A and B are shown apart, each in its own frame.
Chain A
Amino acid sequence: MTPHAPPAFEAVLRARRDAGRKLLIPYVMAGMTEDWVEVLEAVVVAGADAVEVGIPFSDPMMDGPVIQEASLQALQRGTTPAAVVDAVGEAQLGVPIAVMTYYNLVFRAGHRRMARSLAAAGIGAAIVPDLPLEELGPWATEADDAGVATILLVAPSTPEDRVARICARSRGFVYAVARMGVTGERVSLGPSTGDVVTRARAATDLPVCVGVGISTPAQAVEACRSADGVIVGSALVRRLLEHGGPDAARDLVADLRAALDRA
Chain B
Amino acid sequence: MGRPGAGGRFGEFGGRFVPESLVPACQELERAFDDAWADPAFRATLDAVLRDYGGRPTPVTECRRLSERLGVRVVLKREDLAHTGSHKLNNVIGQALLTRRMGKQRLVAETGAGQHGVATATAAALFGLECTVYMGEVDMARQELNVFRMELLGAEVRAVHSGSRTLKDAVNEAMRDWVATVDGTHYCLGSVMGPHPFPYMVRQLQRVVGEEARAQCAVVLGGDPDVVVACVGGGSNAAGTFAGFADGPSRLVGVEAAGGSAVGNGIPGVLHGMRSLFLQDEAGQILEAESISAGLDYPGIGPEHAHLAALGRAEYDRVGDDEVVAAFRLLAQTEGIIPALESAHALAWLVREARASVPAGASVLVTLSGRGDKDVAQVRERLEGSR
List 22 A–B pairs whose Cβ atoms lie within 8 Å, in order of A's numbering: A57-B284, A59-B163, A59-B168, A61-B176, A61-B272, A62-B19, A62-B176, A62-B179, A103-B270, A104-B269, A107-B270, A108-B282, A132-B20, A132-B23, A155-B20, A157-B23, A158-B23, A158-B24, A162-B23, A177-B20, A180-B182, A182-B180
For window 92-144 of A, CB contacts with B under 8 Å fall at: 103-109, 129-135
B contact residues around A194 at 8 Å (CB): none
Q: Bin chain B's interface residue count.
A: 35 or more
Contact flag A154-B163 (CB < 8 Å), given A59-B286, A104-B284: no
CA distance A240 to B180 in the complex (A): 26
Q: Which residue of B19, B180, B268 is within 8 Å of A61 (Cβ)?
A: B19
Q: Which residue of B7, B20, B285, B286 is within 8 Å of A152 (Cβ)?
A: B20
Question: In this complex, what residue of B is CB-closest to A83?
Answer: B283
B contact residues around A129 at 8 Å (CB): 19-20
| Those 7 A-B pairs whose CB atoms lie nearest each other, nearest first | A108-B284, A181-B180, A155-B21, A58-B285, A105-B284, A153-B20, A58-B286
Chain B interfacial positions (CB closer than 8 Å to A): 7, 15-25, 162-163, 168-169, 172, 175-176, 179-183, 268-273, 275, 278, 280, 282-286
Question: In this complex, what residue of B is CB-closest to A68?
Answer: B162
Least distance between A134 CB and chain B CB atoms (Å): 6
B contact residues around A109 at 8 Å (CB): 283-284
A contact residues around B22 at 8 Å (CB): 157
For window 154-202 of A, CB contacts with B under 8 Å fall at: 154-159, 162, 166, 177, 179-182
B contact residues around A154 at 8 Å (CB): 20
**Chain A CB within 10 A, most for which of B22, B268, B278:** B22
A contact residues around B270 at 8 Å (CB): 103-104, 107, 130
Least distance between A132 CB and chain B CB atoms (Å): 5
Q: Are A57 and B285 in contact (CB under 8 A)?
A: yes
Q: Are A108 and B168 in contact (CB under 8 A)?
A: no
B contact residues around A130 at 8 Å (CB): 17-19, 270, 273
Give me 19 other A-B pairs in contact (C-beta within 8 A), A132-B20, A177-B21 excluded: A58-B163, A61-B272, A72-B162, A80-B283, A81-B283, A82-B283, A104-B270, A129-B20, A133-B20, A133-B23, A134-B7, A135-B16, A153-B21, A154-B20, A155-B20, A155-B23, A157-B25, A180-B182, A180-B183
Least distance between B164 CB and chain A CB atoms (Å): 9
Least distance between A247 CB and chain B CB atoms (Å): 29
Least distance between B132 CB and chain A CB atoms (Å): 15
Least distance between B16 CB and chain A CB atoms (Å): 6
CA distance A166 to B23 in the complex (A): 12
CA distance A62 to B175 in the complex (A): 8
Q: Counting CB contacts under 8 A, is A75 at the interface? A: yes
CA distance A133 to B286 in the complex (A): 24
Least distance between A110 CB and chain B CB atoms (Å): 10
A contact residues around B175 at 8 Å (CB): 61
Least distance between A73 CB and chain B CB atoms (Å): 12
Q: Which residue of B24, B168, B275 is within 8 Å of A157 (Cβ)?
A: B24
Q: Are B180 and A132 in contact (CB under 8 A)?
A: no
Question: In this complex, what residue of A is CB-closest to B8?
Answer: A134
A contact residues around B24 at 8 Å (CB): 157-159, 162
Q: Are A132 and B25 in contact (CB under 8 A)?
A: no
CA distance A159 to B176 in the complex (A): 21
Q: Are A134 and B280 in contact (CB under 8 A)?
A: no
Q: Counting CB contacts under 8 A, is A64 at the interface? A: yes
CA distance A192 to B370 in the complex (A): 45
Least distance between B56 CB and chain A CB atoms (Å): 35
Q: Are B19 and A132 in contact (CB under 8 A)?
A: yes
CA distance A107 to B271 in the complex (A): 11
B contact residues around A104 at 8 Å (CB): 269-271, 278, 280, 284, 286
Q: Are B179 and A180 in contact (CB under 8 A)?
A: yes
Q: Are B21 and A156 in contact (CB under 8 A)?
A: yes
A contact residues around B23 at 8 Å (CB): 132-134, 155, 157-158, 162
Contact flag A153-B17 (CB < 8 Å), given A104-B286, A135-B7: no
CA distance A82 to B285 in the complex (A): 13
Least distance between B122 CB and chain A CB atoms (Å): 27
Least distance between A257 CB and chain B CB atoms (Å): 28
B contact residues around A177 at 8 Å (CB): 19-21
For window 10-54 of A, CB contacts with B under 8 Å fall at: none
Q: Are A135 and B269 in contact (CB under 8 A)?
A: no
CA distance A65 to B270 in the complex (A): 22
Q: Are A132 and B163 in contact (CB under 8 A)?
A: no
Contact flag A180-B21 (CB < 8 Å), given A62-B179, A103-B270: yes
CA distance A75 to B280 in the complex (A): 14
CA distance A181 to B182 in the complex (A): 9
CA distance A108 to B266 in the complex (A): 12
Q: Are A153 and B19 in contact (CB under 8 A)?
A: yes
